Amino acid sequence: MAVSRTPFIAGNWKMNLDHLQAIAFVQKLAWALADAKHDFADAEVAVFPPFTDLRSVQTLVAADSLPIAYGAQDVSAHDSGAYTGEVSGAFLAHLDCAYVIIGHSERRQYHGESDADVNAKVLAAHRHGLVPVVCVGETAEDLEAHGPSAVPVAQLRAALAGVDGAKGLVVAYEPVWAIGSGQAATPEQAEQVCAALRVLIGELLGEEVAASTRILYGGSVKAANIASFLREPNVDGALVGGASLDIDEFSSIVRFKKHVGA
Ligand code: PGA
């Protein structure tokens, strides 16, 4: 983990917690981290609630000046117009979202999102000043057929077409076989792919952007395994699903430096 990149711990709530539950959760998370004297220079913390929670989270974070960032789990490729059910990046920016997750494997798998859709959404995020958290990752079949890095690298190459690296980028490597399975990748596997992704970012957006871009690992991350991932030089944090819904577990992941001798 290079000194210049602040580790990033992101909680992807998926379709869990309504806006009332979100308020209670974010408040308790902030208390837990304050009680533990968490130093946000050790790890930036962000939550990604459902769209319907964002206004409530914004109000709470602003009212209490909480040091917790937040973002949406998806964004429309379009800015406005006749796109029923879609949410514009402009609306997310008005809710002070800093980030937006794009191309999560559940969007690719259940909603047919293609690499071109992911690219269009990354460009839309940038148009509205949002930092995309671009998700890439291979299925078990991909791994068998193409080896560890080929699919994630190809997905990221497509996602970054025409992208201006100066506008901010976070990448999340999430092997599909590791998501929600309890079967995390090994730190060595994560490092190998994250290193390949960083080389690609250098090729496409320049070495400076590659050196400053945070690349996360995601897939069955928990308090017991987070430190082993963060010890790898090219893994700069985690995108956490299931374990981000448990305050004790998530705050323990955020404080990875304090345990397992990391
Ligand atoms: P998980 O999900 O931590 O529950 O495996 C990760 C993700 O889908 O972002």
Closest residue by Cα to residue 169 from 244, 103, 92 = 103
Residue nearest to atom 2 of ligand 1 (CA): 241
Distance 179 CA to ligand 1 centre (A): 5
Tokens of 37: 């004297």
Q: Which residues are catalytic?
A: 104, 174
Q: What is the pLDDT along the chain (262 residues), one digit of tens a residue?
A: 444 799 999 999 999 999 999 999 999 999 999 999 999 999 999 999 999 999 999 999 999 999 999 999 999 999 999 999 999 999 999 999 999 999 999 999 999 999 999 999 999 999 999 999 999 999 999 999 999 999 999 999 999 999 999 999 999 999 999 999 999 999 999 999 999 999 999 999 999 999 999 999 999 999 999 999 999 999 999 999 999 999 999 999 999 998 755 4
Answer yes or no: are the C-beta atoms of 72 and 87 closer than 8 Å: yes
Ligand 1 centroid distance, CA of 253 (Å): 13
| CA 121 from centre of chain | 15
Amino acid, res. 124: A
- Asked if residue 209 has its Cβ within 6 Å of ligand 1, the reply is no
Distance of alpha carbon 69 from alpha carbon 226, whole angstroms: 20
Rg over alpha carbons for the chain, rounded to the nearest Å, is 17
Q: Is residue 220 within 6 Å of ligand 1 at its C-beta?
A: yes
Ligand 1 touching residue 174 (CB < 6 A): yes
Ligand 1 atom 1, closest CA? 241
What is the rounded distance in angstroms from the CA atom of residue 156 to the CA atom of residue 161?
Answer: 9
Ligand 1 pocket mutation pick from 9, 109, 174, 183 by most atoms within 8 angstroms of CB:
174
Q: Which pLDDT belongs to residue 258?
A: 84
Could you give the domains of the chain? Answer: 8-259 (3.20.20.70)
Nearest of 18, 63, 6, 7 to residue 245 by alpha carbon: 18
Q: CA angle, 16 as apex, 96 and 229 as ends, to 5°?
A: 80
User: What pLDDT score does 166 carry?
Assistant: 94
Q: Is the CB of 179 under 6 A from ligand 1?
A: yes
